[in-house]
Structure 1
Amino acid sequence: MPDVPLPLTELAFDNRLAALGGGYAAQVRPAPLSRPRLLHANADVAALLDLDPAAFATATFTEVFAGNALLPGMAPIATLYAGHQFGTYVPQLGDGRAILLGQVRNARGESWDLQLKGAGQTPFSRFADGRAVLRSSVREYLAGEALHHLGIPTTRALSLVAGDDPVRRETIERAAVICRVAPSHIRFGHFEVFYYRDQHQRLAPLADHVIDEHFPHLRGAADRHARWLGEVIERTARLMAQWQSVGFCHGVMNTDNMSILGLTLDYGPYGFIDAFDAHHICNHSDDGGRYAYDRQPGIGLWNCSRLLQATLPLLHEDENEAVKIAEHLLERYGPAYSERVTALWRAKIGLREAREGDAELINRFLTLLHRGRADFTRSFRLLAQVASADGGDARALRDRLLAVEALDAWLPDYRARLRAEGSDDDAARAARMNAVNPKYVLRNHLAQRAIEDAERGSAGQIERLLTILRRPYDEQPEHEAYADEPPPEARHIEVSCSS
C-alpha cells in the first residue's frame, strides 16, 4: 500500500480485459440510480485498492458507485459468456446487470476488478431490467465478507448503494447497486460461448489474458493452457471441499457462476446449513435438488468437465488427442478434493494425524448429525468440549443431539482415536478445533434482519454483522446471541434465484 492512501480520483485504472476488443465485451454505460444513498462501504476492501476510506464521505463516491458518474480511466464494459444452467446449455448469457468499470492496479502490482452489479441494462440483459434489489444486494454484500473471513476464496464488495427506483421481482422492491471487487470475474462460461459458437480463435487470447494476469508462472510455456486448466480444476476441487466443511450451499452452481480463479462467485440463494441435512437444498427454485449440499462436489467435477470441453481446441489440434489430455486433467479433481476435504474434516474433529479409518469415523459423526438434524455449526464447537477420557464429560453435545444412542456408540471410538495420536490434552485440542470450526456464520435469519434494517434506511445490522463475521472463530461473548440457532419463526426462510 502507498505511504498515503489515495483519493478516489487518483485510482490507477489498467483496463486490460477491455483491451481484448469487442468480441469479448460490449461498451456500456451504467444507468443512473434515483436518489442514491450510500448504505455501507468497506474499508478493508478499500485498502486492497489503496483507496483512502475518507472518500466514503464524499458525494462523488456515492455517485460513482451508484452508476451515476465515471472516474477518469474507467472503461465500462459488459462481458459476453454462455453457460450450462441446471444442466442445460444456454448459448448466450453475459453480464445482464453487471458492468465492469475497469481494473485498478495497486502499489503491490495487484489488479482488482471493480464491477457494479445492478447498474442497469446491457446488450446481454435479455429483456430483463438490469437491476438488483436491495434484499439480494445486502445478502451478497455480507456473504463475500463472511466467506473471506472463514478463509474461503471469494469475491468481495466495496460499497452498497440504495436507490428509489422500483424493481419488480415477486413484489415491487427498491433497487440497489453493489461494487463487487475480485482479481477477476471471468467464468467458465466465458470460454463456453466461443467454443459452442465455433469461434475457437477467441479462446487463446482470453486464456492467455487469464494466465498473464493470474497465473504468471505459466507465461510463455508451450504447455501453458493444459497446466493452467489443471490448476483451475484443482482450485475448484479445493473450493468445493471448503464449502462442504463449513456447511455452505451455493444454490446455483451453473457453469456461468463458476470462477476461473476458484473463487466463490455470484451469491444468490446461498445458505449456511442450520439443522444438518446432507441433502439440504438451499434454493427454493431448485425443484430437483441438482445443487443440494451433498451434490456440490460432484457438480464441481461436472462443471470442470464442461470447461475442459470448451477448451479442447487449446489442448491439441487433433481432437482425439485433446480429449485424452482433457480426461487426464479431469482426473486431478478427485484427489485434490479428497485430500483437502479429508484434511479439513480431520481438523474439525480435532485430529492431527492421518490414519486409516478416519474417513469412517468422520462419516459416522456426520451421519448422526444428519439423523438428528443437529445444528451443523454449533455441533462442532460442542464436540470440542467433549473430554477424551473414557466416560468423560460430553453433556453439552449430548444435550443438543437427538441421535444420542448413535453418539454414545461413536464416542468410545472417537476417544480411542484421540488418545492413539496423543490428542488427549483436552484444552489444546479444543483450542485447535475452535480455530477451524466457526462459532459465527451468516445464517439466513441474520441476513434477513440486516435486510429489514436496510429497508428502513439503517446499516446498523450490516455493520454489526460485519464486525462479528470478521472474527468468526472467536467467542465474542458480547455477541453470543448471533451464534444461536434460528428461532422457530425463522427456520423456514426460503431463498430463490431472485435472492
Structure 2
Amino acid sequence: MVSDTSLEALTFDNVWSRFPDDFFTRVKPTRWGGTRLLDISPRGAARLGLEPDDIDHGRLTALMGGERLLDGMDPLAQKYTGHQFGTYNPALGDGRGLLLGEAMTPQGPVDLHLKGAGQTPYSRFGDGRAVLRSSIREYLAGEAMAGLKIPTTLALAVAVNGEKVMRERVEPGATLLRLAESHVRFGHFEWLYQQQRVEDLERLARHVIDRHRPDLAQESAPLEALFQDVVTRTAELIARWQAYGFVHAVMNTDNMSILGLTLDYGPYAFMDRFESNLTPNHTDTAGRYAFDQQPGVALWNLTVLGQSLTPLIDVERLREMLDSYEPTLQAAYAILMRGRLGLETEQQSDGELIDDWLSLLESSRADFHRSFRALSDRDVVGGLSLAEEIASPELESWLERYRRRLNHESRGDTERLAAMRRVNPLYILRTHLAQQVIEAAEQGDARPLQTFRELLSSPFLQRPGMEIWSEAPSSDAPPVCLSCSS
C-alpha cells in the first residue's frame, strides 16, 4: 500500500508542456552512475505535502540520478532570454536543469526542477552538469533563506554521483532537486517582447495570474495588477536581502523571479564584516551587483520587465507602478531594521539611528550578524559582549542615543530582547562554514551538511554544543571571492 505522503503519490499537471513548442525542448535527464543521496530537507518535503520518513530513498535516488522518472512527469528545458550584466543575451534557457514536472500539492502547484540533469539545446558551451560544491551551496541557501523568512526556492534533496566534473578543478558531480512555485523569470517576458509575440506575451502573463495569483483576476485591470504585484514583491524581497546582509551577486534579469522569489544561487554570500560595497563575485570587477547596488539593480530589472509589457499595459501606468518601488522598499526595510534593533514604534529619527549603526559596524570592521545578536543579548548574563564585537570609541555615543530612543518604547527590556532574538539570527550561512560542509561531503561525510541544514532552518534558536556553527571567520581570513560556478 503506497502511503499518501510518498513520492509516488504526487500528481502532476504540467501546464508548461502545453505552451507552444518553442517555449521549451523536451529533454530526458542524463543518467549519472553512482548517485547517492546526501540529505533530504524536511522543509522541502513539507512543501510537497510529503513526510520525510515516507520518502523511499531508493526511488528518490533513481530520480536524481536520471534513471527513472515519476509517473506523470514530462521533463523539459525552458527557453528564455535576459540581460546579463546589462547586456541583452538572446541565447538563454535551461542549460543544465530540467523542469521534470509541475506537482499539484495542498499548498498549490510546485515545480520539480532537476539541476545538473545534463546538456540541453540551451547549454551553449556548458556541459550540463553540476558540481557538489555549487549544489550544496544552493541546497543550504534555500534552507537559510527560508529560515530567515526570505522568499526563496527550496530543494527537496541533494545527491552526489560518480561523475568527475571540470571547473576550476576536478570536482564530484551532483544533482539538486529544486522546488519552486514557478520558474517563470523576467527573461521569459523579455524573450517574447523581443520576438514581438504579443499574443504569447499576454498568454504568459495570464498564465501567471491564473496559476499563481488568481486573486488578481478579479481586479479591473488584471495585467496591471500583476505588474504591480511583481514590483511590490520584488521591493519587499530586496528589503529583506538588505536587512540580512545577503548579496546575490548575479542579478541578471534571467535570474529574477516573476513571483518575487530568490532564484539561482551562484556566487552569493551573507556578509561577515559589514561592507556596504561587498562584491563576492570575482567576475564582477565593476561592482555592478555589489550589496549597496542591489536596490537600484532590482529597479533597473523591473524597468526592463516593464518595457517588455508595453504591448499590453499603458506606458504611463507602468511608470506609476515603477514609482511605487522605492517607497515600498524603504518602508519594508525600515520595519525590518527597527525590528532588528528592538524598536516597536516608529520615530522620525529612526532612519538616522539605523544608518549610523551600520556606519559604526563598517568603520569598526565589526561582524554584521554577531553585532546584532550581541545587541540582542547585551543585558543577558553570559551573552555576547557588544564591546568585544565592536571595537570603536564611537560605540558608547551610539548606545547613548539608542538608550534614549528606547525610552519611547512601551516594552520592557526582557520582552524587547526576546523579540530581538527572534529576528537576529545566531546561525548564518557563512561562506567558510559552507566550505567546511562541502569538504566533508567530498570526503563522504554528510553529517555536517545535515547538522548545518537543521541549524539554518531555525537560525534564531540557540542550540547547546553548536557554538562552532555560529563562529565568524578569523580576522585575517581573505575576502569572500567566488566564481559563477559556485
Normalised by the size of structure 2, how large is the TM-score?
Answer: 0.96
Aligned residue for 2:283, secondary structure, equals: coil
Q: Which residue of 1 aligns with 2:482?
A: 495
CA shift, 1:53, in A, is: 3.0
Q: Which residue of 1 aligns with 2:348?
A: 356
Q: Deviations over 1:74-130 (max 9, x none)?
A: 011111111111111111211111100011112x25111000011001111112111
Structure 1 residues 179, 195: closer, same or farther in 2, change over 3 A?
A: same
Aligned residue for 2:135, secondary structure, equals: helix
Structure 1 residues 170, 430: closer, same or farther in 2, change over 3 A?
A: same
- Counterparts of 1:10 and 1:395, CA distance in 2: 48
Aligned residue for 2:466, secondary structure, equals: helix
Identity %: 45
What letter is aligned with 1:323? V
Pairwise mapping of residues 61-210 of structure 1 onto structure 2 (< 5 A)? 61-106=60-105, 108=106, 110-210=108-208
What letter is aligned with 1:331? D
CA shift, 1:7, in A, is: 2.8
Question: How many residue pairs align between the two structures?
Answer: 484
CA shift, 1:409, in A, is: 1.9
- Counterparts of 1:232 and 1:128, CA distance in 2: 31
1:367 aligns with 2:359: yes
CA shift, 1:217, in A, is: 0.8
- Counterparts of 2:287 and 2:9, CA distance in 1: 48
Structure 1 residues 346, 361: closer, same or farther in 2, change over 3 A?
A: same
Pairwise mapping of residues 298-317 of structure 1 onto structure 2 (< 5 A)? 298-315=296-313
Contact 1:17–1:209 (8 Å) recurs in 2: no
Structure 1 residues 395, 38: closer, same or farther in 2, change over 3 A?
A: closer
Range moving further from structure 2, 172-181 or 40-49? 40-49
Aligned residue for 2:102, secondary structure, equals: strand
1:483 aligns with 2:470: yes
**Aligned partner (choices 215, 218, 226) of residue 216 of structure 2:** 218
Q: Which residue of 1 aligns with 2:409?
A: 421
- Counterparts of 2:379 and 2:140, CA distance in 1: 36
CA shift, 1:298, in A, is: 0.9
- Counterparts of 1:419 and 1:58, CA distance in 2: 56
Contact 1:92–1:193 (8 Å) recurs in 2: no
Q: Which residue of 2 aligns with 1:329?
A: 321
Unaligned 5+ runs, structure 1: 316-321
Range moving further from structure 2, 406-415 or 439-448? 406-415
CA shift, 1:4, in A, is: 5.1
CA shift, 1:57, in A, is: 4.2
Unaligned 5+ runs, structure 2: none
Aligned residue for 1:26, secondary structure, equals: strand
Q: Which residue of 2 aligns with 1:438?
A: 425
CA shift, 1:483, in A, is: 1.1
CA shift, 1:213, in A, is: 1.0
The CA RMSD over aligned residues, in Å, is 1.9
Q: Which residue of 2 aligns with 1:318?
A: none
CA shift, 1:168, in A, is: 1.5
- Counterparts of 1:439 and 1:109, CA distance in 2: 30
What letter is aligned with 1:339? A
Q: Deviations over 1:12-49 (max 9, x none)?
A: 01111211231311111111112111111223322222
Contact 2:35–2:64 (8 Å) recurs in 1: no
Contact 2:7–2:55 (8 Å) recurs in 1: no
Q: Which residue of 2 aligns with 1:378?
A: 370
Q: Deviations over 1:176-214 (max 9, x none)?
A: 110000101111001001111222221111111111111
Normalised by the size of structure 1, how large is the TM-score?
Answer: 0.93
- Counterparts of 1:460 and 1:180, CA distance in 2: 21
Contact 2:3–2:9 (8 Å) recurs in 1: no
Structure 1 residues 334, 286: closer, same or farther in 2, change over 3 A?
A: same
Q: Which residue of 1 aligns with 2:43?
A: 44
1:412 aligns with 2:411: no
- Counterparts of 2:441 and 2:216, CA distance in 1: 45
Contact 1:445–1:490 (8 Å) recurs in 2: no
Contact 2:47–2:107 (8 Å) recurs in 1: no
What letter is aligned with 2:27? V
Aligned residue for 1:328, secondary structure, equals: helix
- Counterparts of 1:8 and 1:205, CA distance in 2: 31
CA shift, 1:291, in A, is: 0.8
Q: Which residue of 1 aligns with 2:281?
A: 283
- Counterparts of 2:476 and 2:76, CA distance in 1: 43
Aligned residue for 1:123, secondary structure, equals: coil
What letter is aligned with 1:330? L
- Counterparts of 2:171 and 2:52, CA distance in 1: 30
Q: Which residue of 2 aligns with 1:461?
A: 448
**Aligned partner (choices 256, 259, 270) of residue 258 of structure 1:** 256
Contact 2:268–2:281 (8 Å) recurs in 1: yes
- Counterparts of 2:269 and 2:360, CA distance in 1: 21
Q: Deviations over 1:304-338 (max 9, x none)?
A: 111111111121xxxxxx22111111011011101
1:26 aligns with 2:18: no
Aligned residue for 2:407, secondary structure, equals: helix
Range moving further from structure 2, 439-448 or 193-202? 193-202
Q: Which residue of 2 aligns with 1:401?
A: 390
Structure 1 residues 453, 395: closer, same or farther in 2, change over 3 A?
A: closer
- Counterparts of 2:305 and 2:57, CA distance in 1: 43
Pairwise mapping of residues 265-280 of structure 1 onto structure 2 (< 5 A)? 265-280=263-278
- Counterparts of 1:422 and 1:54, CA distance in 2: 46
- Counterparts of 1:183 and 1:170, CA distance in 2: 33
Contact 2:95–2:120 (8 Å) recurs in 1: yes
